[in-house]
Amino acid sequence: MGDVAVGARSGHDGEEHSGRPEENAPSADSGLTSGNDTGAAKDGGPADVLSSGGAGGGRDGEPGDSAAPAPKKPRSFWKELPILIGIALVLALLIKTFLVQAFSIPSDSMQNTLQQGDRVLVDKLTPWFGSKPERGEVVVFHDPDDWLAGEPTAQPNAVQTFLSWIGLMPSAQEKDLIKRVIGVGGDTVSCKGSGPLMVNGHALNEPYVYPGNTPCSVDDQGGQFTVKVPKGYIWVMGDHRQNSRDSRYNQSDKHHGMVPVKEVVGRAIVKAWPINRWGTLPVPDTFDQSGINTQSSAASLSVAPQGVAVAAVLPVAVWRRRRGERVGSKFEKR
């Protein structure tokens, strides 16, 4: 803002020199120190330039025909301020819509990774280029099927509504949730007993789970499960395992606890507020372990109907039997 104000006043430089070309104006001493001025004037040299009717004035010191234009009056700061505010609001709205949006953490379901009241910045840009949620990422997504039913809804005032509209505050009207991605399309995720949590047959080491919690919850409401994640969906769980209403406890909804990828707003990448809790939200190393990506195809083969396996083996058995009969008949003829 300060740069704009300085730039608007740069026109004063013209007032100091307009109509007075000091460098080219003849001085009283010039005729005394140079004996060639008279000759130069006769030959159409520099003297003719100095005496021409331009911005510097006429031959006899009279003003020329084309006077320098008067400088524009600088615009008042108070007239520029609404324009600057408008530009800032448009930029903020574009950033919120296409790049990054701030969200507030409303509950304790992601402790200790995220605390209630934390502000996170969510990357909304990469999904525009085809990026899909990956295991271990913390994502924000729209409520897929009344997961927040019965939860109180905040009633913001006019200022809060405006600030949330431009992205400077999280919206109270949007029903969004934040969880960690555990499984993606094609994965098999299971919990038995108190854990560990298994993905494609590989146990996860989960240091991000809330201290005192077990990776799996021993209950009959959904804590014990084995699910196959369909393509185009993700399976999500909170880091505070015994205090999170996540995919486990929504298996009776129309998506069977899965979250459609199209409902994902973006990945939470930074804890931005409060300052003393600033930090990034990387993918834990446990999701990079060898073999975790190759188990999906094996899992789909292991649940194939037995009839498919029989159909694959039967032609081989028939061929071997017929081959044995032909060999036996040859020996009999001999």
Q: Which sequence positions are flagged as catalytic?
A: 109, 179
- End-to-end CA, the chain: 107
Residue 276 to residues 29, 271, 281, Cα–Cα distance (Å): 72, 10, 15
Instruction: Report how far Cα 85 is from the mean position of its chain's Cα atoms.
Output: 24
Angle at 34 between CA 33 and CA 35, to 5 degrees: 125
DSSP string, 230-279: PTTEEEEE-SSGGG--SGGGGTTSTTTT-EEGGGEEEEEEEEEESGGG-E
Q: Return the structure tokens found at 280.
A: 């990034």
Contact call for residues 250 and 200 (beta carbons, < 8 A): no
Q: And the tokens for 7?
A: 């730039």
